[in-house]
Amino acid sequence: MEQVLQQIEQIKAEIAAYEAPNADAVEAFRIKYLGTKGLVKAIMGEMKNVPNEEKKAFGLLLNEFKQTVEARYEALKAAQESQADTAINFDISLPGYPTAVGSRHPISMVRNQIVSIFKRLGFAVAEGPEIEDDWHNFGAMNLPEHHPARDMQDTFYIAQNPDWLLRTHTSSVQARIMESQKPPIRVICPGRVYRNETISARAHCFFHQVEGLYIDEHVSFADLKQTLYFFVQEMFGKDVKVRFRPSYFPFTEPSAEMDISCLICGGKGCNVCKHTGWVEILGCGMVHPKVLENLGIDPNKYTGFAFGMGVERITMLKYQIKDLRLFSENDVRFLQQFTAAL
């Protein structure tokens, strides 16, 4: 008995002097004194050796002892936690870690720029599905089955349903708009398109286009030219020259392709413009009356113009990028260069 009482006094002195500078030391205290194999448990075990008449007094003493140890543990724990909250254990004068800033993809930047120029002219933005049916991609656009011009665009068909395909151009969105809206229509349709092409520096199996469509009474080729002149000047600056060449698209009549003077050599001739001084940036024309009719618009009352441009082509010219594959490789060394642009 005497020995146990001595031990209690010794532990009380020990815990009063115990210092816990960190959470590990607080935990060590708990294990040593209050754990299942701890000293408090061991002393409680002495109860069985106490004569019956002394059990009550000894029980009270032991309880008080246990509470003292527990209270000390709570105090150490609270002190440690509040110290951890307020402690400044780092050098506040150190510079912070640099945060890596992402950048927009050049294709997105140029697409946004194209869209914003046309928005200023009052064009609304429309989008359509990338998995399209034959009618919207071809049929409605005056490319009936077996039309030889379908070969101009190598198509990915969807095995599950021969009527489904990956759209080969954003002109399919034109078809959807005309089908669901009444003139006047003035929309710009950005999107991704797919063609079954061998991947090279100049061709890819997917790329991006921006389609434009304007339909109202008395819309003329002059309106088309003025709209596209405005676009080129906003996009490339006032010094860039523009020319239209006659062309063929089944969905427009007459049709044209638009060239701009080469931005790389300023029109003198280089590899990019194949020494002609000009580069093609879009196809356009007056919407074919058959297309209007196919989509429920009266060709005797309304006329319209349409155009479609390749976003990759314009981006390559603007930033002098020579290989189309760079756009889809996700190499940060390429993408990082656009952080500061736009």
Q: 65 vs 194, which CB is nearer to ligand DAH?
A: 194
> Nearest distance from residue 317's CB to ligand DAH, in Å?
17
Looking at 72-205, which runs of residues are DSSP E strands?
124-125, 131-133, 164-166, 185-194
Q: 95 vs 148, which CB is nearer to ligand DAH?
A: 148
Q: 256 vs 317, which CB is nearer to ligand DAH?
A: 256
> Nearest distance from residue 119's CB to ligand DAH, in Å?
18
Which residue, chain included where needed, has tokens 């002097």?
Answer: 17
- The structure tokens listed for 90 are 């780092």
Query: Buried b vs exposed e over 33-53: b needs ≥16 C-beta within 10 Å?
Result: bbeeebbbeebeebeeebeee
> Nearest distance from residue 292's CB to ligand DAH, in Å?
13
> Nearest distance from residue 271's CB to ligand DAH, in Å?
23
Q: 43 vs 232, which CB is nearer to ligand DAH?
A: 232
Using CB under 6 A, list all residues that contact ligand DAH: 169, 171, 211, 249, 251-252, 283-285, 306-308
Number of other residues whose CB lies within 10 A of the CB of residue 145: 8
Secondary structure (3-state) at 133: strand
- The structure tokens listed for 140 are 């409605």
> Nearest distance from residue 145's CB to ligand DAH, in Å?
18
What torsion do the CA atoms of 329, 330, 333, 335 make, to the nearest 10 degrees?
Answer: 120
Residues 6+ apart with CB under 8 A from 121: 186, 227, 230
- Name the residue among 283, 282, 287 with its Cα closest to residue 305: 287
- Name the residue among 132, 107, 322, 176 with its Cα closest to residue 115: 107
Rg (CA), the chain: 39
Q: 4 vs 224, which CB is nearer to ligand DAH?
A: 224
> Nearest distance from residue 185's CB to ligand DAH, in Å?
13
> Nearest distance from residue 100's CB to ligand DAH, in Å?
37
Using CA atoms, how far apart are residues 86 and 236, in angstroms rounded to an integer? Answer: 57
- Name the residue among 318, 314, 311, 106 with its Cα closest to residue 209: 311
Q: 211 vs 312, which CB is nearer to ligand DAH?
A: 211
Q: 80 vs 142, which CB is nearer to ligand DAH?
A: 142
> Nearest distance from residue 138's CB to ligand DAH, in Å?
11
Phi, psi of 303 (to 5 degrees): -130, 170
Q: 106 vs 308, which CB is nearer to ligand DAH?
A: 308
